[in-house]
Amino acid sequence: MKKIGVMTSGGDSPGMNAAIRAVVRTAVYHNLEVYGICRGYQGIIEGDMYQMLTTDVSNIIQRGGTILKTARSKEFMTEEGMAKAYEQLQAHGIEGLVLIGGDGTFRGANVFFEKYPIPAVGLPGTIDKDLAGTDFTIGFDTAVNTAMEAIDKIRDTADAHNRIFVVEVMGRDAGYIALNSGIACGAEDILIPELKTDMNTIVQGIRDDRRRKKNVQLIVVAEGDDFGGAVDVQKVLNEQVPEVDVRICVLGHIQRGGSPTFADRVLASRLGFAAVNALRAGIYQVMAGQINGAIVLTPFAEVVKQKANIPTDLQAMTYVLTK
């Protein structure tokens, strides 16, 4: 293998630049040419790629976002789009790929590489931490710390006004950001997609707290919760406990940005290094993850078949600590 490509796809996550840096520097060290592919799968289709040198990745490890940009490509999910992508890879002499992204990235890869024999290794770049095959994903630690810091500030103003705040965090199908930021901030209720939300119990808990003069409550809800987001929760609370001042705060894309934490920089660097070495060793169609501190390679088919599950002991602890 003489030439590889690296790309970021789907939602951006803090630490993607650190991963790109590790891939480029490791590849160049082993005398491989590296091509940066801009805008994910759409960039492959359009041939939007350029050769990267170590100087191209200087001074980026601390930056959020991704210097290669990112996109979600509907065209790539068509037969014609995949054929164009393969033609471009062949035209540029790309013999292997490093894909940095989340669930959608690996689902696309799994379908594409069944049709076209391009070796690839994936890196879990998503703030949601919803992928099997790794304990942590690139960007999760930064995102949950961003959420935690914001919720801490919200608690201050909630306390000043004796209000209830419903804080919505990201997590389309996964509640890891909500669960971890909620635990870290001492939230009174945490609503996540993995567990059924019982609004009657939440309302009763608020009434009980008011009777015992506890006038400040924080409810952290994942955007993908089965009951709905912050607006839906506020509506029910306004109807059921109208005497309580309920405010909402949707943190939104602030959780995607910012300088990556130490944990995300090191994780991204380890996984980028491992991805290049896997390609060199002839190990393909796998995602590089970290489990119990060790680098583990999991086939794409297994990664997309199952999601990371929230441990039952964490669920039990959350139930006790929010009471």
| Catalytic annotation, residues | 128
Q: What would the two tokens of residue 5 be?
A: 């490509």
Question: CA 165 to CA 167: how far, in whole Å?
Answer: 6
Other beta carbons within 10 Å of 148:
19
> Hey, which residues does 246 pair with through a beta bridge?
164
> Hey, which residues does 41 pair with through a beta bridge?
none
- For 274-303, b/e burial (b = at least 16 CB within 10 A) is bbbbbbeeeebbbbbbbeeeebebbebeeb
105: phi then psi, degrees, rounded to nearest 5: -60, -45
Residue 198 Cα distances to 46, 226, 227, 260, 303, angstroms: 48, 10, 8, 35, 31
Characterize the bridge pairing of strands 33-37 and 49-52. Answer: antiparallel
DSSP at 222: E
Query: How many residues are given for the chain?
Result: 323
Contact 289, 131 (CB under 8 A): yes
Question: CA 220 to CA 154: how far, in whole Å?
Answer: 11
Question: CA 95 to CA 93: how far, in whole Å?
Answer: 6
User: Which residue from 159, 189, 160, 232 is spatially nearest to 319, judged by alpha carbons?
Assistant: 189
Question: CA 120 to CA 135: how far, in whole Å?
Answer: 21
Question: CA 126 to CA 133: how far, in whole Å?
Answer: 13
